[in-house]
A and B are shown apart, each in its own frame.
Chain A
């Protein structure tokens, strides 16, 4: 049998509402079933129990919402981006919305291997108050002024010390209508040097001797980026729209 032609497709989606309680593995299963329901002409692996060719950019933890999740698939044929988005959204549950469907080049790397950074927004949930500190001052003392921020991370077997400042590419504090702080972070993401945004927040408050309840903070991923010569590029900007 000759080589079967396959198109690489990158799908971008939002995850919100109660869907934040669905873990990564279950999201994968969910998407596999969506592909069948939407009758996407997805490619399967060889072998006795073939599986869909599908890979996710960066697993999202339980409890986190997102405006920028990515899954790459391979298809044998495809309708237009617009039509495919429509068909996929018809089979989605509330809480998952497809916002982009683009064709990648044959030699493009998959999203998972490209991931270098991600933007997050962290804020205190409605029922919770934020600690009352002078945020601008703590921000200066904790983040702006020091040349390095050494953090000791406890893993199952050992302790590891690393420089948090090297892994935080951007850090801004804004305020919502009620005056509660909203934290915007761009952090290193991917298989090496993966930094969880909540660790930044935890260290931020720890520098003031405050321990926060992790459940009081909502983490929201805004987008995921790869990196090239010019800097970070959103995974959603790669490839092209199928007309």
Chain B
């Protein structure tokens, strides 16, 4: 049995030692001496969050299918262990072999949200790997980043040797082969990076030079060497059905956030909500074959022993064979004590029928995400949901026995007025009223409507990527308008309102659309003790603001300014499929308050049809 890297006296003194011992069901065991490449795959957050991430499960399985690669895992140590590792100078280790990450060939970090950036520095620091890529030598692993935040990797440019732009299933084999060649040739670190940069989708930030104008916007963004591409092509899996998918996902001992089998039914979304980055960068929408999904569900349940299976996609209701799939899952597994969880379903007669079969109606709640309170603003963001549909869905649900409704909205959206904000409370009131219209003998006490609002953060590669953000005070005043509106409603006693902190929104906005000058701020913040910024218990806005001040970087530059269409944006060097022209047109259409039809009804010519697959070629809706 592998000896744990940490002694008993440490493991028994910290919270949840199971986070650090590995040995989970379906963990891959190999002898590191038998492989050419050791890859440490990292999710820079606590184990329970990281273990719930589907992408890592896919890549872990895929990498380990190669005989010459051993992929292991590493997560952010919780602050209790962080302090001990620092104090005792114990290098951070991977779970499988319990050996130091610094001795690996690659450290791959998935970057899922901006608020994990200091945790990336934590992982590097605790691994005793120089935080800055330029300080690394041949003794150190190559640090590669991927995931949605890699669509604007610039704030992290100092810390990564490379970024992988797009979906991981496509070019890692080429990267590994390239690495083996380089290793046997005994060339310099930079020589590998130059070679790697020629693989489609691989971006090596140190091979690009950025200059700035006097107004601080970017003047130029150019490769420093011949042969290094000017544009990085995002990677897309065009054959989702045939794509690698884990038959034996890892099963943690401690309860992870996602303690169930996750079945990805499709990638991408046809809806085109203008605030949604996932809806843009995962284009085109690609479905997986029904029969393959059935087989995968069966295998994964058998090999994990999980008692629940969940469908994963951005909008499950749009999956063409949803009815068949859900019917199969219920018929095949419901009798065997397996729960079926169906997130991201539109509320209609079909979904209500299915949900009443798979969950306890009295206990569960119904979720709507109108995102904006008024129809005008919903048209601006291209959220196709109408008030009529919401009220009809709610009414049917109430008749079916539901009495809890959750509503999700965003505040701070482009063109938003006080009227839009106030209509959030009004919409909640109308839903409550629909409940009380039901005859008393068919009701079950009071209904519970819960409104949650988050503050909108414009993201790269969305039509709102040029939009301005606001100061913290503005966001809080928006929440106050909603709160006042809720309090003024007739059914206010049935409505609960929660809103988020605004500090973290502003910081997220800075990092999401930042450039490489922010690297020093992130490093400064980490040095000041910022980690686990995504956790409200740990987030310390004051330290961040000090870091900005000390680095002489004005945070407002990144948030309060509406960018002009001709500005060079930090992420313009990436070709994400959707063209800048399309995004511009979408922004203008949004400001005019017009909706755009979904991909299946009418192609909007976003540019993703160049990949020649998915919804773009499904039927007649091809661009002529």
List chain A positions with a Cβ less than 8 A from chain B: 17-19, 21-23, 26, 29-30, 32-37, 44, 48-52, 62-63, 91, 93-95, 125, 127, 215, 218
Cα(A91)–Cα(B1), bound, Å = 17
Instruction: Enumerate chain A residues within 8 angstroms of B305, measured Cβ to Cβ.
Output: 32-37, 91
Give the total of B residues in contact with A, Cβ under 8 Å. 31
Cα(A30)–Cα(B343), bound, Å = 25
Q: Is the CB of B24 within 8 A of A26?
A: no
A-B contact pairs, 13 of them (CB 8 A): A18-B2, A18-B23, A26-B254, A29-B253, A30-B253, A33-B305, A36-B307, A37-B304, A62-B17, A91-B25, A95-B1, A125-B8, A215-B8
List chain B positions with a Cβ less than 8 A from chain A: 1-2, 4, 7-9, 11-13, 17-18, 21-25, 27, 251, 253-255, 301-307, 337, 339, 360
Instruction: Enumerate chain A residues within 8 angstroms of B303, measured Cβ to Cβ.
Output: 37
Q: Is the CB of A63 within 8 A of B255?
A: no
Q: Is the CB of A49 within 8 A of B360?
A: yes
Instruction: Enumerate chain A residues within 8 angstroms of B12, measured Cβ to Cβ.
Output: 21, 62-63, 215
Cα(A54)–Cα(B70), bound, Å = 37
Q: Is the CB of B8 within 8 A of A93?
A: no
Q: Is the CB of A94 within 8 A of B251?
A: no
A-B complex: 9 closest residue pairs judged by Cβ atoms = A33-B305, A36-B305, A37-B305, A21-B17, A18-B21, A17-B1, A215-B9, A26-B253, A48-B360
Cα(A49)–Cα(B22), bound, Å = 30
Nearest B-chain residue to A218, judged by Cβ: B8
- Contacts between chains A and B (CB distance < 8 A), count: 74
Nearest A-chain residue to B19, judged by Cβ: A21
Additional A-B contact list (8), CB under 8 Å, known A21-B12, A30-B25: A17-B23, A21-B18, A22-B18, A33-B25, A33-B305, A93-B25, A95-B1, A95-B23
Instruction: Enumerate chain B residues within 8 angstroms of A19, measured Cβ to Cβ.
Output: 23
Cα(A49)–Cα(B306), bound, Å = 14
- Select one of B2, B18, B337 contacting A26, CB under 8 A: B18
The answer to whether residues A33 and B23 also contact, given A49-B339, A94-B1, A215-B8 and a CB cut-off of 8 A, is no
Cα(A36)–Cα(B299), bound, Å = 12
Cα(A44)–Cα(B253), bound, Å = 22
Nearest A-chain residue to B301, judged by Cβ: A36
Q: Is the CB of B253 within 8 A of A22?
A: yes
Cα(A109)–Cα(B240), bound, Å = 53
Nearest A-chain residue to B20, judged by Cβ: A21
Q: Is the CB of B7 within 8 A of A127?
A: yes
Cα(A17)–Cα(B304), bound, Å = 22
Instruction: Enumerate chain B residues within 8 angstroms of A33, measured Cβ to Cβ.
Output: 25, 251, 304-307
Q: How far is the CB of A16 from chain B (nearest CB, A)?
A: 8
- Select one of A29, A36, A93 contacting B23, CB under 8 A: A93
Cα(A32)–Cα(B11), bound, Å = 25
Nearest B-chain residue to A35, judged by Cβ: B305
Instruction: Enumerate chain B residues within 8 angstroms of A62, measured Cβ to Cβ.
Output: 12, 17
Q: Is the CB of A94 within 8 A of B23?
A: yes
Nearest B-chain residue to A39, judged by Cβ: B302
The answer to whether residues A93 and B24 also contact, given A26-B254, A63-B8 and a CB cut-off of 8 A, is yes
Q: How far is the CB of A6 from chain B (nearest CB, A)?
A: 15
Cα(A29)–Cα(B302), bound, Å = 16
Nearest A-chain residue to B9, judged by Cβ: A215
Instruction: Enumerate chain B residues within 8 angstroms of A51, measured Cβ to Cβ.
Output: 337
Instruction: Enumerate chain A residues within 8 angstroms of B21, measured Cβ to Cβ.
Output: 18, 21
Q: Is the CB of A44 within 8 A of B17?
A: no
Instruction: Enumerate chain A residues within 8 angstroms of B23, measured Cβ to Cβ.
Output: 17-19, 93-95
Cα(A35)–Cα(B303), bound, Å = 11
Cα(A68)–Cα(B527), bound, Å = 49
Q: How far is the CB of B354 from chain A (nearest CB, A)?
A: 16
Instruction: Enumerate chain B residues within 8 angstroms of A23, measured Cβ to Cβ.
Output: 18
Cα(A17)–Cα(B360), bound, Å = 40
Cα(A103)–Cα(B24), bound, Å = 29
Nearest A-chain residue to B27, judged by Cβ: A93
Instruction: Enumerate chain A residues within 8 angstroms of B253, measured Cβ to Cβ.
Output: 22, 26, 29-30
